[in-house]
C-alpha cells in the first residue's frame, strides 16, 4: 500500500513537468550547398528530374604487394575517385576511397564503402553516398541521396539515385 501511494504521489508531482511547452523553431543560419537560382542554369530539382548523370573523376585503382618473407604476403588494394552531383554543382565534391586486403583482386563488389563530402564542415545538400567496386568485371556501383531546396522551402525534395558503370582499366 505504501509503495502504491508513493508511486501515485510521485506521478502527480511529475505530471505538470510532462506537459508540452512551446519551443521556438530554430532558424537555420548556415549556408547550404544548393546553388542559388540562376536563370541560365536549370534548378536543382529540374536537373534531378531531367537527364541526370554524375561526373566521375580522378579514378585510381592500385595495389601494393609486400612480401616480408617468401612465405608471408601483406598486400592491399586501393580505390579512390571523386563524384560531382550536377544538381548540387561543383561546390561539393564527394570523395570516395576504400582499401581491401582480400586477395588477389581486392575488390569483388561484395562490400559497400561510404564516401565523404568535401569541403569538410560545410553543410551539404548531398546526403549519404556509398559504393562498391568489382575489379574482375570493372563494375563500379554507387548510391547517393541529395536534397533540393529550390521548389518549396517548406517541403524539401530528397532524391536517391543509383548508378553503375563498367570501367575499362588499363592496369600494368
Q: For residue 5, is it within any domain?
A: no
Asked whether residue 149 is assigned to any structural domain, the reply reads: yes
Residue 141 lies in a domain: yes
Query: Hey, is 49 helix, strand or coil?
Result: helix
Which residues of the chain fall below pLDDT 50? Answer: 1-36
CA dist 66 and 58 (Å) reads 25
Domain interval for residue 98:
54-172
pLDDT of residue 5: 37
Instruction: Give residue 98's pLDDT.
Output: 96
130 in a domain, yes or no? yes
Segment 98-143, tens digit of pLDDT: 999 988 889 999 999 999 987 666 667 888 999 999 999 999 999 9
- Residue 164 placed within a domain: yes
34 inside domain: no
On whether residue 35 sits in a domain, the answer given is no
- How far apart are the C-alpha atoms of 88 and 115, rounded to whole Å? 16
The residues, any chain, with a CB within 8 Å of residue 85's CB and separated by 6 or more, are: 54, 92, 94, 126, 144, 146
In-domain check, residue 171: yes
Percentage above 90 pLDDT, the chain = 40
pTM for the full predicted model: 0.71
Q: For the chain, how many structural domains are there in total?
A: 1
pLDDT at 167: 92
Amino acid at each position: 500500500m505504501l509503495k502504491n501511494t508513493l508511486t501515485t504521489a510521485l506521478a502527480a508531482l511529475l505530471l505538470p513537468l510532462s506537459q508540452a511547452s512551446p519551443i521556438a523553431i530554430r532558424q537555420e543560419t548556415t549556408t547550404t550547398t544548393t546553388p542559388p537560382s540562376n536563370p541560365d542554369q536549370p534548378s536543382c530539382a529540374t536537373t534531378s528530374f531531367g537527364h541526370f548523370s554524375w561526373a566521375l573523376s580522378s579514378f585510381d585503382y592500385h595495389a601494393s604487394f609486400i612480401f616480408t618473407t617468401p612465405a608471408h604476403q601483406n598486400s592491399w588494394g586501393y580505390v579512390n575517385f571523386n563524384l560531382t552531383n550536377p544538381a548540387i554543382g561543383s561546390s561539393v565534391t564527394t570523395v570516395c576511397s576504400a582499401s581491401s586486403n582480400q586477395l588477389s583482386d581486392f575488390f569483388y563488389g561484395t562490400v559497400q564503402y561510404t564516401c565523404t563530402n568535401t569541403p569538410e564542415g560545410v553543410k551539404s545538400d548531398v546526403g549519404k553516398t556509398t559504393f562498391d567496386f568489382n575489379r574482375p568485371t570493372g563494375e563500379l556501383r554507387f548510391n547517393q541521396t541529395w536534397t533540393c531546396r529550390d521548389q518549396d522551402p517548406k517541403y524539401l525534395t530528397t532524391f536517391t539515385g543509383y548508378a553503375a558503370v563498367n570501367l575499362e582499366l588499363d592496369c600494368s
